[in-house]
Structure 1
Amino acid sequence: MKTLSQEAISLARQIQQGLQRVVNAKLEVLMDEVKSIDRRFQRQEAKWRQAQSKEFLSGFNILKMPEFMWAARCAGVNVPQESLNEVRESIESGVFKAYFKKAFKERKAIQATLF
């Protein structure tokens, strides 16, 4: 596998956007998403989810398969079975890492020219 399909790229972008949403969300909003009546537990889960999302987002291009699945869970994105095999193969072969490392550098270069 030399390149990622559009479906896999789209799925990864959805996960990145979901993680960014969680990182930028207010704690109260995340607390409302936790299924519990215990406010202390809700706060603890929301903080954990926000911290995990920040960690996954910062090292998105070096995620392994279990971490990728946890990132999808934190982002609230359902991963279809068809895409799962392709993503697994691309992570194992290093294509996923190369693609998102390149995309990250391009985005940083664009941001540098804007500011």
Structure 2
Amino acid sequence: MKVLSQETISLVKQIQQGLQRVVNAKLEVLMSEVRSIDRKFQRREAKWRQTQSKEFLANFNTLKVSDFMWAARCAGVNVPQKYLNEVRESIESGVFKVKFSGGQGYQAALF
């Protein structure tokens, strides 16, 4: 069973914290981060990002690699390729699920 490096674990925790920040943020704050002058688009994009972040956080330990990348994008965290490869291997081997299970995302599901 492959063990994740401390840097990768730290990066994954940054993504979790970023997702939690998005979930707890007010819609107006998220709207200001959208690059558009169309208010309807900003609102729709901010709501989508908040909803996706809730789902990613609630199911964090069962994410697939593509979902992990979307979660990182929603959280605003850049994932270097070497860490992405390590995360990919850990997801495929089941280490990711074991390491990050334990109700960390359950709190977001309650909101």
Give the TM-score normalised by structure 1: 0.87
Q: How far does the alpha carbon of each residue in 1:56-85 deviate from its partner, in whole angstroms, 9 at most, with x for none?
A: 000000000000000000000000111111
Tell me how many residue pairs correspond in the alignment.
104
Q: Residue in 1 aligned with 2:26? A: 26
For 2:42, the equivalent position in structure 1 comes to 42
Percent of matched pairs sharing the same residue? 78
**Structure 1 gap ranges (5+):** 108-115
Residue segments in structure 2 that go unaligned for 5+ positions in a row: 105-111
Structure whose CA Rg is larger: 1
SS in structure 2 opposite 1:3? coil
The separation in 2 between residues aligned to 1:67 and 1:2, in whole angstroms, is 21
Instruction: Determine helix, strand or coil for the equivalent of 2:78.
Output: coil
The residue correspondences of 1:91-110 to structure 2 (distance < 5 A) are 91-101=91-101, 104=102
Q: Superposition RMSD on alpha carbons, in Å?
A: 1.1
- Greater helix content: 1
Q: Which residue of 1 aligns with 2:57?
A: 57
1:71-106 CA distance string (max 9 Å, x none): 0000000001111110100000000001111xx25x
4+ residue stretches of structure 1 with deviation over 2 A?
none
Q: Output the CA distance in 1 between the equivalents of 2:31 and 2:88.
A: 31
TM-score by length of 2: 0.90
1:73 aligns with 2:106: no
